[in-house]
Structure 1
Amino acid sequence: MAVFATSLRKKLGLNPGDVVAVMLPNCPEFPVVAFGALQAGCVVTTINPIYKELEVTHQVSTTGPKVFVTIPPCYETVVKGLQNAKIDAKIVVIDNPAAPVPEGAIRYSEISESGEADYDLLDKVEKKKDDVAFIPFSSGTTGLPKGVEITYGNLLAAVAIMQNEKNSYPKLTQGDFQDVVPCILPFFHIYGLVIALIGHLAKGCKLISLPKFSASLYLDVLDKQKPTLLYVVPPIAILLGKHPDVKAEHFERVRNVICGAAPLADSDVHAILEKCKQGELYVKSPTIMKGYHKNEKATKESLTDDGYFKTGDLGYYKPETGLYITDRIKELIKVKGMQVAPAELESILRSHPAVQDAAVIGIPHEIYGEVPKAFVIRKNGKETSAEELQSFVADRVAVFKKIEEVTFVNDIPKTTTGKILRKDLKKMYA
């Protein structure tokens, strides 16, 4: 890791504060790249490796990376995304015998394995609690995704919470004991990054990185690696309960299966209304982001002056039994545990020459939880089909954002200010 950090500074010419974009699946190189960049004093922005050109363009336009680390299959997408954004970044590609490094790219092995670590240089890097370490991107509930500034203080607080036995599932590695954790939750996502990767490395756990989920691969890991902890999203929990190849032996060493969360230490939930009255939940915690990257307006809309984060969740509090979540204010669709913003899909649909207007909602799906459904108004005199629009969107977004259904309508219900009435659309669908 220190060799990689030194190479970023000396061979690639980066300075503290420069941004390194990391577009990798879960793999052994991910922590070396991410933590090596931090050791060099850089800021890391993580990108989903199944993103398309348009999505990469938006993220690099916002963060302006000087170096971009990826895998061979993503290279062309990265090149086009950087060109669109007019960003001149050096591209480092992970060496893979099955997929040669493209011409013009820098081999990962050249900067991670050759040379020596310069600890005198690296030890001079100063980091403060309020300095930004990571910039993952949100799902963008009211528009395009936004960069979320995660500070070193946020990371330290999260690790401290996981060190607390009351809030933590992994146990410290001691003697011949070591927790074994399959990592299917993506490291580019904040939960996979902070909880699955950083939190478990801090306890010395053995992590098994799965670059992509498949039932056969996951069950093979359960069979051969004998994990002790499983972190899953609802679709995987359903698979474990229903798949015909799941056996009791797969869980012989499993101590916990985690799907959800426990109360977090040092968190303060603010009740806007009186007890048992429904209202929006505000949360204050040392793990809450610093703000949205280069987006002061969105930051002010999400964080109060006294540091509370507006969750977008509706709920109420009963002193005897606790806090209840009842609904969402923010308009997100949860697909296979990933958040999809209707506004992003609507913007793409409206860019189609035959579309006058569009609205997107989430509809139930037995396996995925929810999937996007679009309601579309055609332009006068223009013809298009559901299949054409589905393909149009699929060419521009990651696969989990693809639109499952399209219904053509004459009107989309809106408020007097033009806000889409999604609940009315859901009633129409039902």
Structure 2
Amino acid sequence: MPFVPPSWCPPLPQVPDSISIESFMWEERYGRHPLGYSQDPFTDGLMGRTYNAFDLKDRIDHLARGLCKEFDWTPESSEWEKVIGVFSLNTVDYVPLTWAIHRIGGIATCANAAYNAHELEYQLKDSGAKAVFTCLALLDTTLEAARKCNIPKERVYILPMAPNATQKSDGYDHKTLEDIVTAGSKLPKIQPSDRSWKVGDGARRCAYLCYSSGTSGLPKGVMISHKNVIANTLQIFTHESPTREDYAKRNMLQSYTETALGLLPMSHIYGLIVGSHVGAFRGDGVIVLPKYDFKVLLQTIQDYKINMLFLVPPMIIHMTKSKETVKQYDLSSVRACFTGAAPLGKETADDLLSMFPSWAVRQGYGLTETCTVVCSTVPEDIWFGSSGSLIPGMKVRLVTVEGNEITGYNQPGELWVQSPSVVLGYLHNDKANKETFVDEADGRYMRTGDEAIIAKSPQGHEHIIITDRIKELIKVKGHQVAPAELEAHLLTHPGVNDCVVIGVPSDREGEVPKAFVVKAPGSIEESDALLKRSIAKHVEQHKTDYKRLRGGIEFIDVVPKSPSGKILRRLMRDKEREKMRKQGAKL
């Protein structure tokens, strides 16, 4: 029997399936917070540039008109004829640009701002992008990739990072988004694409094409429909409504909106949906920062009196390891922080709460393939180490390697997810589609590749606890060891600033854990040997015998991570295998 959301969770409203994301976000009839009572949706945290909700709605309309004119497109044509790449650091125009693309029935393919030219070239080619919007900092990379994709220079546009900035490179004056908005404001109105859609078109038409790195091979283009985004926005909105309504009631407010941090990359599904769409829909203001800078982040929280922090575990670890720096800033406005994209260890969460006892330290779990959130904690039911309860409209199964369904608590299995937010599939990848999306008697499920258990929280509600990626679990004498568990524990050692754990071959045990550690600045240990011994003892004193670091401890300068904070263990495994191969080991 599948697991479903807890009884306290409100039911999911009907999800519209014949409108675009842009209509859903900007027409109040679908439940959006009234425009006149909303905060400014996006504000540049460095420059202060902002637009109120009414102005931004008009700006999106003008940009949509300008795009049709610029490319000679019509709202009625297929979305696959109107694919536009977005390769930029965060700006206040990033997400509004994608909504303008949706208004004319096109697809936005958002590319990781950390990509090199070769990686960007692959995504632009695979998606069939006809043009690309970038920022000045990434222009050279964009031009190199565009040239190899036969995208002409005049189809490379600039998203200004500051007002009135002159954007020039390579002797060519690139049009900016502002140029297209200005031109569009002088053009006749156009009918939004979805005015001609039939029932179900919103569920069939692709809106975002985001690329998921997966565990191996080239990144896969994830086709996300309009309905997928609308569904997850409503799911998160509904899941958190009781908390927000209670807060408004206790403080005698008609409704509650908050100021949230917009630091996470908007190219990543977490920053795109949770950080941007949900906030704008419920009237919150998002303070946008282009990239992670620790002191700039703290200063921005202080200056804008931010209430909600959307973070990833490395940022929280940085806070807990930099207590003296954090004390220099006033973070009293913060009521809660939410972390996802990678596991947050209970030890790190406890450490953060010891610094900020009034914060609600929340965690969630989701994937690009589920258009983000599957489950999350709420302030009334936080259980560190858990990713929270299923949100409305979610149904999950736990399935063993042998294909048996788990129906009890505290038994591990692969997490399978069914939801209106589960995506259309992968572009140009039938093999991955067959492996990932499964048709069962009660509907279509997405196989996450993550091992999880269902357990009851101290409040008595069912929570999902993600153990680790199934392919990354270390098998020691038949026992499964989760790297994330050991990493979370290692981070509580004062000499460990960051770490990654992988399995390495062992004749006797099959595999054993090995830790790669970034030393904390100013470590008081007399030598590396003593520090290694101290770290190993730290694990021995708190973990069972088969979880000990028998593969050894190696010091490194930096842990490889994705922009969303996910540890790239695969890179460490590949490096370790290559090193062992050179040493003559049989692998």
For normalisation by structure 1, the TM-score amounts to 0.74
Partner of 2:190: 120
Within the candidate set 94, 98, 107, 2:159 is matched to: 94
Within the candidate set 409, 422, 426, 1:292 is matched to: 426
The structural deviation recorded for 1:51 is 1.2
Partner of 1:26: 90
Distance of 2:156 and 2:73 partners within structure 1: 13
CA offset digits 1:102-147 (Å, max 9, x no partner):
3153232210123325433336463522211101110132201011
Letter in 2 for 1:212: K
Shift of the 100–237 alpha-carbon distance from structure 1 to 2, 3 Å rule, reads same
SS in 2 for 1:129: helix
Partner of 2:211: 137
Contact 1:186-1:192 within 8 A present in 2 as well: yes
Partner of 2:466: 325
The structural deviation recorded for 1:363 is 4.2
Letter in 2 for 1:2: D
Distance of 1:40 and 1:154 partners within structure 2: 18
Contact 1:170-1:179 within 8 A present in 2 as well: no
Shift of the 77–298 alpha-carbon distance from structure 1 to 2, 3 Å rule, reads same
Partner of 2:72: 13
Instruction: Return 215-224 or 257-266, whichever deviates more.
Output: 257-266
Instruction: Return 8-17 or 258-267, whichever deviates more.
Output: 8-17
The structural deviation recorded for 1:175 is 6.8
Distance of 2:426 and 2:116 partners within structure 1: 22
Partner of 1:397: none
Within the candidate set 220, 236, 240, 2:319 is matched to: 240
Letter in 2 for 1:82: A
Partner of 1:265: 392
SS in 2 for 1:135: strand
Distance of 2:445 and 2:283 partners within structure 1: 33
Contact 2:84-2:130 within 8 A present in 1 as well: yes
Contact 1:93-1:101 within 8 A present in 2 as well: no
SS in 2 for 1:208: strand
Instruction: Work out which of the two has the higher radius of gyration on C-alpha atoms and give 1 or 2.
Output: 2
Letter in 1 for 2:178: S
The alignment-based identity, stated in percent, is: 24
SS in 2 for 1:308: strand
Distance of 1:365 and 1:148 partners within structure 2: 34
Matched, 1:409 2:550: no
Distance of 1:122 and 1:57 partners within structure 2: 31
Shift of the 295–364 alpha-carbon distance from structure 1 to 2, 3 Å rule, reads farther
Count of residue pairs the alignment pairs up = 363
Letter in 2 for 1:115: G
Instruction: Return 4-13 or 54-63, whichever deviates more.
Output: 4-13
Partner of 1:161: 235
SS in 2 for 1:20: strand
SS in 2 for 1:310: strand
Partner of 1:421: none
Within the candidate set 323, 331, 334, 1:254 is matched to: 334
Within the candidate set 179, 199, 211, 1:110 is matched to: 179
Distance of 1:7 and 1:222 partners within structure 2: 35
Shift of the 88–293 alpha-carbon distance from structure 1 to 2, 3 Å rule, reads farther
Distance of 2:179 and 2:244 partners within structure 1: 35
CA offset digits 1:236-290 (Å, max 9, x no partner):
1122333222138633222211122112211111122333543211111111111
The structural deviation recorded for 1:198 is 0.3
Matched, 1:198 2:277: yes
Contact 2:95-2:272 within 8 A present in 1 as well: no
Contact 2:158-2:167 within 8 A present in 1 as well: no
The structural deviation recorded for 1:152 is 0.9
Letter in 1 for 2:427: H
Contact 2:109-2:208 within 8 A present in 1 as well: yes
Shift of the 364–36 alpha-carbon distance from structure 1 to 2, 3 Å rule, reads farther
The structural deviation recorded for 1:366 is 7.0
Matched, 1:315 2:452: yes
Contact 2:305-2:334 within 8 A present in 1 as well: yes
The structural deviation recorded for 1:58 is 0.9
Within the candidate set 267, 286, 289, 1:210 is matched to: 289
The structural deviation recorded for 1:88 is 4.9
Shift of the 295–365 alpha-carbon distance from structure 1 to 2, 3 Å rule, reads farther
Matched, 1:67 2:131: yes
In the alignment, structure 1 segments of 5+ residues that lack a partner are 343-360, 368-389, 394-399, 415-430
Partner of 2:104: 40
CA offset digits 1:49-103 (Å, max 9, x no partner):
2210111011011101112111122222112212323445711112455562331
SS in 2 for 1:109: helix
Contact 1:141-1:331 within 8 A present in 2 as well: no
The structural deviation recorded for 1:219 is 0.8
Shift of the 168–309 alpha-carbon distance from structure 1 to 2, 3 Å rule, reads farther
Within the candidate set 137, 140, 150, 1:76 is matched to: 140
Letter in 1 for 2:136: P
For normalisation by structure 2, the TM-score amounts to 0.56
Instruction: Return 147-156 or 401-410, whichever deviates more.
Output: 401-410
Distance of 2:519 and 2:265 partners within structure 1: 22
Letter in 2 for 1:22: V
Contact 1:316-1:323 within 8 A present in 2 as well: yes
Shift of the 165–143 alpha-carbon distance from structure 1 to 2, 3 Å rule, reads closer
Letter in 2 for 1:111: I
SS in 2 for 1:245: helix
The structural deviation recorded for 1:41 is 1.0
Shift of the 413–316 alpha-carbon distance from structure 1 to 2, 3 Å rule, reads farther
Letter in 1 for 2:293: S
Superposed, 1:384-399 pairs within 5 Å as none
Contact 1:280-1:315 within 8 A present in 2 as well: yes
Contact 2:415-2:449 within 8 A present in 1 as well: yes
Partner of 1:221: 300
Partner of 1:283: 417
SS in 2 for 1:136: strand
Contact 1:19-1:42 within 8 A present in 2 as well: yes
Distance of 1:404 and 1:331 partners within structure 2: 12
Distance of 2:73 and 2:415 partners within structure 1: 41
Distance of 1:196 and 1:236 partners within structure 2: 16
Letter in 2 for 1:308: Y
CA offset digits 1:317-368 (Å, max 9, x no partner):
4577654433322459999xxxx9x9xxxxxxxxxxxxxxxxxx9945579x
Shift of the 322–236 alpha-carbon distance from structure 1 to 2, 3 Å rule, reads closer
